[in-house]
Amino acid sequence: MTKDERYKKLKDIIKIYLPEDVSVANISMESHFINELNINSANLVDIILDVEDEFDIMLENEDMERMQTVQDALQIIEGKLD
């Protein structure tokens, strides 16, 4: 899986959690899940579960705390896949 493929998969996961006034086009590497994409903090746990299922990995508590932006998420995923 290339980095682009991983990014695309992640965007597909995130898009369902976006509020009505935020579109997929608003997602960038630097996007902060809560502050910029306005994702409800309760839904972050759902994103984490979706990431685990999609990439067949398991995230630890400290990974979850570190996962603030799209970039963070990708780095964590890459770390687990290696």
Partner 1 sequence: MAERVVITGLGVCAPNGIGLDAFGEAMASGKSGIRFISELKQLEFGCQIAGEPLLTDNRINRYFTPLQLRGLNATGIIYGVLAGTDAWNDAGLPKADAETPDWDSGILFGTGTLGVAKFREAIHLIDNKEVRRLGSTTVIQTMASGISAYLGGILGCGNQVTTNSSACTTGTEGILMGYERIASGKAKRMLVGSCSDSGPYVWAGFDAMRILPRNYNENPENASRPMSATAAGFVPGSGAGALVLESLESAQERGGKIYAEVLGGAVNSGGQRGNGSMTAPNSEAVQRCIIEAVRNSGIKNSDIDTINGHLTATAKDALEIENWSRALDRSGPNFPYINSFKGLFGHCLAAAGSIECVASVLQFEKNQIFGNVNVEDLHPEIEEQVDRIKIPLKTIDYTPKILAKASFGFGDVNACVIFKRFID
Binding site for partner 1 (CB under 8 A): 16-17, 20, 42-43, 45-46, 49
Do the Cβ atoms of 30 and 69 come closer than 8 Å? yes
Q: Which two tokens stand for residue 2?
A: 């290339």
- Kind plus residue range of the DSSP H or E element containing 50: helix 44-55
CB closer to partner 1, 29 vs 45? 45
Residue 30 or 56: the one with the smaller Cβ distance to partner 1 is: 56
Give Cα 25 distance to the centre of its chain.
15
Whichever of 38 and 68 has its CB closer to partner 1, that residue is 38
**Least CB distance to partner 1 at residue 33 (A):** 13
